[in-house]
Amino acid sequence: MSSSTKSTSKETVLVITVGFLALYLIFKHRIFLTVSFVIGLAGLLSSWLSEKIDIVWNKLSLLLGRISNTLLLTLIFFLVLTPMGLIRRLLGKGNLLRVREGQQTNFTDREHSFTKQDLENVW
């Protein structure tokens, strides 16, 4: 095992310990102090255990990240995009991809031969 992995797992255990201490100071529940003490002591006494705590912590963060991303995107879709679409439909704006009358496509033909000067200053 590399020393950077050990260092990272010890840092993770320290962050979790300090986080539970902060929760204890905020809420004054003894369980936070006990959990902080147990995790800190486990991480201090056993490198193997601190690595396992680090792995569990990283898996939990990935899970919470997926849940929060899905929840936020769902809320944005139903609270912002769906009402906007319904309002556009009620106002008669309708479909943005609708082909204009008398045309087969929304694309316009452009008869242009590209030269070297077209590609020198693209922006």
Q: Each residue of 102-122: pLDDT tens digit?
A: 777 778 888 889 898 888 888
Weakest-pLDDT range from 3-12, 29-38, 80-89: 3-12
- Please, which residues have CB within 8 angstroms of residue 51's CB and are 6 or more apart in sequence? 1, 5, 6, 9
- Residue range 20-68, pLDDT digits in tens: 999 999 999 999 999 999 999 999 999 999 999 999 999 999 999 999 9
pTM: 0.62
What pLDDT, on a 0 to 100 scale, did the predictor assign at position 96?
A: 67
